[in-house]
Amino acid sequence: MTAYDPTFEPVIGLEVHVQLATRTKLFCGCANAYGAEANTQICQVCTGQPGVLPVLNEQALRLAIRAGLALHCSVPEKTKFDRKNYFYPDLPKGYQISQFDQPLNVGGGLEILGDDGALRTISIVRAHLEEDAGKTIHPDGMGFSLVDLNRSSIPLLEIVSGPDLRSAAEAHRYLDRLKNVLRYARASECDMEKGSLRCDVNVSVRRKGDPKFGTRVEVKNVNSFKNVERAIEFEILRQIELVKSGGTVVQQTRQWRDAEGATVAMRSKEEAHDYRYFPEPDLPTFTITRAFVDAVRAELPEMPDARRARYVGALSVSEAAADTLVAERDTADYYDRCLELGKGLDPKELANFVLGSVLAVANERGISAADVPLRPETLVEVVRLVAGNTISSQAARMKLLPAILETGKSAAVLVKELGLEQVSDRGAIEAIAAEVIAANAKAVGEFRAGKDNAINALVGNVMKASKGKANPNLAREILLELLARG
Ligand SMILES: [Zn+2]
């Protein structure tokens, strides 16, 4: 964090656009899918041909409300669409259908950890539906530009925070939480690289204690959470220096230039009246019934904070493990399914296996826990084999689970095929332990001289001699007995 004059206070608000995870676009039946060849997912409606009419996508409305409810917004009974007029090559209609004075969701909040270490609620002023614009492409060194309208009219939710953030780090934490919550709600993928989450940043500065806000500057389309932080830090310093040297901050839109690590002026900031908003005449005002909102609310899963609290509180899972388990809903859902199937098993042990053998594979392959070809049923079966002392935990991790992933065979079959059954037969282990003691005079001598750790080397040798099949706790017990006998 860059240091700045502490008599000043930054004031930050974020406007985040997320693409909603619908199958089709907001007002037509064209596919909402990323990565298709340019201009292959378009029709008369989303390219703004004369005489066409928009039809609202109910699933988009549903996902937008689901996201709003996850952000603790309320949903007013009436919602309406408006035309936001501006001219740009990627906007064939000459206007965007958006929402002006009657947005779908209002008055929510998102809890984040403040810089002072205390939880703080960042207000969400509104979260409204609108359609995306197309994309202009400027091929390098060519004298022309291209337009791709596949993105045109994809449903967006614009989530506007209050001016409640006070540092770049807080803004970053807000974005992390927002992404986490929206992904849990399955409202959006929130993948910045695919453009399904985009962020505009509003920054102003004021003297500490001044009740009035300073003039704000908007930084557009910053392309990563890290760069949101950098752009905010740059603006805080720039504005404070400007004010201190007797200048005034001008209300404007700026652009973040990654390579230069700086923002540069793009244009003076538009006011709402510059867009000549007026009600969309081709769509009615919609009435959102309580029954519809309640039905959408019932689709929301248990949210990450609640799950984390349950794992740490009722299940005694460590905070670090709980954080990793709830970071993605697929991982948490996987763990919850294991808990359900593995009644009577130690939740901490189950968590270790989910993190060590499922999430690790998911990360390695770049997939989600739900797509790892190891079902919770199978994992629980393996953990039961460990809990019942049929196989050692080490054999489960290092041999059995990798073999299941590789061959798809059942745990029971592989335990036999690989000869993984743990030896818990006292006689067999005693015989091996006696040999190990005879062959390791040095470790035995050290143990007798009071070096307790030396027993670990002896247990290790018993494990090795048994090809990893001895029950390690029993091996330790038997070694101690034999050594005590002299
Ligand atoms: Zn279309």
Q: What global pTM score does this model have?
A: 0.84
Buried b or exposed e, range 310-340, using 16+ CB within 10 angstroms? bbeeebebeeebbebbbbbbbbbbbbbbbbe
CA of 91 to the centre of ligand 1 (A): 13
What is the phi/psi pair of residue 423, to 5°? Answer: -90, 115
CB atoms within 5 A of ion ligand 1 belong to 28, 30, 43, 45-46
Let me know: does 218 contact 202? Beta carbons within 8 Å: yes
Tell which CATH classification among 3.90.1170.40, 1.10.287.130, 3.40.50.300, 1.10.10.410 matches the domain 426-485: 1.10.10.410
CA of 159 to the centre of ligand 1 (A): 24
For the chain, residues classed under CATH 1.10.10.410 are 426-485
Bridge partner list, 120? 112
CA of 59 to the centre of ligand 1 (A): 16
* CA atoms of 486 and 477, how far apart (whole Å): 15
Per-residue pLDDT of the chain (486 residues; tens, 9 = 90+): 568 899 999 999 999 999 999 999 999 999 999 999 999 999 999 999 999 999 999 999 999 999 999 999 999 999 999 999 999 999 999 999 999 999 999 999 999 999 999 999 999 999 999 999 999 999 999 999 999 999 999 999 999 999 999 999 999 999 999 999 999 999 999 999 898 999 999 999 999 999 999 999 999 878 899 999 999 999 999 999 999 999 999 999 999 999 999 999 987 766 767 899 999 999 999 999 999 999 999 999 999 999 999 999 999 999 999 999 999 999 999 999 999 999 999 999 999 999 999 999 999 999 999 999 999 999 999 999 999 888 888 889 999 999 999 999 999 999 989 888 877 788 888 999 999 999 999 999 999 898 888 999 999 999 888 887 888 888 999 999 999 886
Q: Which residue carries 């005034």 as its tokens? A: 248
CA of 149 to the centre of ligand 1 (A): 9
* CA atoms of 50 and 282, how far apart (whole Å): 13
CA of 151 to the centre of ligand 1 (A): 10
* CA atoms of 479 and 76, how far apart (whole Å): 72
CA of 432 to the centre of ligand 1 (A): 74
CA of 147 to the centre of ligand 1 (A): 15
| Neighbour tally for 9: CB within 10 Å | 18
